[in-house]
Amino acid sequence: MKKVFVTRQIPDVGIKMLKQKGYQVKVSPYDRVIKKRELVRELKKGYDALFCLLTDKIDGKIMDVGLPRLKVIANYAVGFDNIDLNAAKERKLIITNTPSDQVNESVAEHVISLMFTLAHRVVEADNFTRAGKYKGWQPDLFIGQNLMNKTMGIIGLGRIGKATVRRAQGMDMTVIYHDLYRDREFEKKSKAKFVSKADLLKKSDFISLNVPLLDSTRHLMSTKEFKQMKKTAFIINTARGPVVDELALVKALTKGEIAGAGLDVYECEPLIDCNPRDHYELRKMNNVIMTPHTASATIEAREAMATVAAKNIIAALSGRRPPNQVKFK
């Protein structure tokens, strides 16, 4: 009988699919990130598939514990920077991820909600109102800005980037994008305009990062890039924390080089500041809004992720190519 180990409880729909296939499924009993030694202990028992989360660091040593029985590692996330792909390639392991329309829509909606919240200063105004400070209407109270006719710059025109373009255009924003690859078909359909990274930084009022974390995208936004942005512009990161150089971001915000930030991911996640003993600046800033890596936390997205991951495992263990097999370089 094929055996699957799941490192944390995920929506039942995925577990059911695996069980219906006749697999023996064990879910980690802990309601937290599984510890390395716990995962090692479990994998030693022999599993055909490991169903893991982005919070599990899967390196060559972990893979070796599962071998030779282990065939597939199914990540319950679109991003797979938690898995050592070189190690997986050397060991001929199959790695899969969970892209889906539901995740794209959820993350794109989250980008828009961060943008709205910043533009209309919703969190500041909410805190003020709750604190009983509202004493009557004032013409200059929490002046924000309209999104209409503003320019949205998308860095990374993958599935989530494209879903974000559609939403921004629905709000009458001008959309420009930058990516390694120019997508002329999409440009025709959407009227989004391809620009250089420098132009995007210079022209955008809101910049959304929608790239995977790769060596080439680590610190894609750093001191130089923040200096190129408008002083009135906002940066939004729902991709991966290390895409932004956090220290450079804190400096740019402190010096007023940019207007604010909407963050769902953090460079030293789950820490909000990489260097918490020295500074908690991000948390103190009114022009920064933060969510705890929840851009894809909708029922629809989480269930789709569970279904997609289960399908990937079933395909791999049936000798078929999984629908979302990660390509090795």
Task: For 191-227, give the secondary structure using H, E and C.
Answer: CCEECCHHHHHHHCCEEEECCCCCCCCCCCECHHHHH
Shortest CB 77 distance to ligand DGY, Å:
4
Asked whether the beta carbons of 206 and 171 are under 8 A apart, the reply is no
257 in active site: no
54 forms part of the interface with ligand DGY (CB under 6 A): yes
Binding-site member from 151, 296, 312, 324 for ligand DGY (CB under 6 A): 296
Shortest CB 236 distance to ligand DGY, Å:
14
Cα distances (Å, whole numbers) of residue 253 to 59, 232, 302: 36, 11, 33
Q: List the catalytic residue out of 8, 110, 178, 240.
A: 240
Shortest CB 76 distance to ligand DGY, Å:
8
77 forms part of the interface with ligand DGY (CB under 6 A): yes
| CA–CA gap between residue 262 and residue 294 (Å, rounded) | 12
Amino acid, single-letter form, for residue 76: Y
Which CB atom, from 223 or from 298, has the smaller least distance to ligand DGY?
298
Which of these segments, 72-80, 83-91, 116-124, 228-236, binds ligand DGY (CB under 6 A)? 72-80
Binding-site member from 78, 263, 306, 316 for ligand DGY (CB under 6 A): 78
11 forms part of the interface with ligand DGY (CB under 6 A): no
Which CB atom, from 213 or from 229, has the smaller least distance to ligand DGY?
213
Shortest CB 306 distance to ligand DGY, Å:
11
Cα distances (Å, whole numbers) of residue 267 to 43, 133, 192: 29, 34, 29
293 in active site: yes
Strands 24-27 and 3-6: parallel
Which of these segments, 73-81, 83-91, 219-227, 278-286, binds ligand DGY (CB under 6 A)? 73-81
302 in active site: no
Q: List the catalytic residue out of 269, 279, 300, 303.
A: 269
DSSP assignments along 19-52, one per residue: HHTT-EEEE-S-SSPPPHHHHHHHHTT--SEEEE
Which CB atom, from 49 or from 54, has the smaller least distance to ligand DGY?
54
Question: Judged by CB under 6 A, how many residues of this single chain contact ligand DGY?
Answer: 6
End-to-end C-alpha distance for the chain, whole angstroms = 33
Which CB atom, from 97 or from 174, has the smaller least distance to ligand DGY?
97
Shortest CB 180 distance to ligand DGY, Å:
19
Listed in sequence order, the residues at least 6 apart from 285 whose beta carbon sits closer than 8 Å to its beta carbon are 253, 260
Which sign, positive or negative, has the C-alpha torsion 19, 24, 30, 33? Answer: negative
Q: Which residues are catalytic?
A: 240, 269, 293
Which residues contribute to the site for ligand DGY (CB under 6 A)? 54, 77-79, 103, 296
